[in-house]
Structure 1
Amino acid sequence: MVEVKGLDSAAPFEAQLQETTGPVVLINVFRVPEGTMDETMAKWREDAEFMKAQPGYISAQLHKGTGDSQLLANIAVWESTEHLVKAFSDPEFQAKHDGWPEGTVIYPHLFEKVAVSGICLD
């Protein structure tokens, strides 16, 4: 069973999902149990294929820590929090949620793009 932990106590993930906003960027860091990287990546792919078919999905990219790191980072873009919540709440997705390797810990958090003059657009 996967364990979910927060990154920011001032904005727990569950509270973020209640916000009406978008587009949103889900950054989800995974601490993968040693020896389960291939199994974890296969599970991520299964979940990502489901999410890719959902309304409001824009994109996803998986990143792996360098060297001997046991971290993965999923960066997924959604049209809105409403779309993300609907996809997460889908009974089919929830039924598959327990397939992660024992000891996997995830740290999900939602972000919005920010404009910084002369550097990047929102």
Structure 2
Amino acid sequence: MIDLRDLDPSAPFLTQLQGPDDGRPITFVNVFLAPAGEVDKVIDVWREDALLMKAQPGFISGQLYRGIGDSRILTNVAVWENLTSLKDAFMREAFQNTLTLYPDGSLSHPLIVRKAAVAGVCVA
């Protein structure tokens, strides 16, 4: 089973998920650390839960990134129409059941972000 951990203790993922929804798009970022020798198994399970999420209302896009070399890091980046859509998809029993399929020792650091405008560099 996967262990969900907060990357930022001042903004726990489950608290972010329950926050007010202003209707703007959000980006879900999840940094995984796979147990030694289990990267391919984590990818297989991620595929299952990604297919479930992809079928949910409000899902816009998703991409999995894999660390290079011998890295055991995987990063999922998914864009959703709004926070409510992600919350509803995350709370579905079918999705919650996939969390038990990850190899023991799998770590997950989920967070929710939005684009930020930085003058002269990028727009929100």
Please classify the TM superposition score into its range, dividing by the shorter chain length: over 0.9
* Residue segments in structure 1 that go unaligned for 5+ positions in a row: none
What amino acid does structure 2 have at the position aligned with 1:102? Answer: D
What amino acid does structure 2 have at the position aligned with 1:37? Answer: V
**Equivalent residues, number:** 122
After TM superposition, the score normalised by the length of structure 1 is: 0.95
Structure 1: distance between partners of 2:50 and 2:5: 20
Structure 2: distance between partners of 1:24 and 1:16: 11
Matches within 5 A, 1:1-20: 1-19=1-19, 20=21
Matches within 5 A, 1:24-103: 24-103=26-105
Structure 1 vs Structure 2 CA RMSD: 1.0
After TM superposition, the score normalised by the length of structure 2 is: 0.93
**1:47 deviation in Å?**
0.7
* Residue segments in structure 2 that go unaligned for 5+ positions in a row: none
**1:97 deviation in Å?**
2.0
**1:78 deviation in Å?**
0.7
Q: Deviations over 1:33-77 (max 9, x none)?
A: 011111111111111111000000011110111111111000111
Identity of aligned residues (%): 44
Q: Deviations over 1:66-102 (max 9, x none)?
A: 1111110001111111000100111221222200011
Q: Which residue number in structure 2 is paired with residue 109 of structure 1?
A: 111
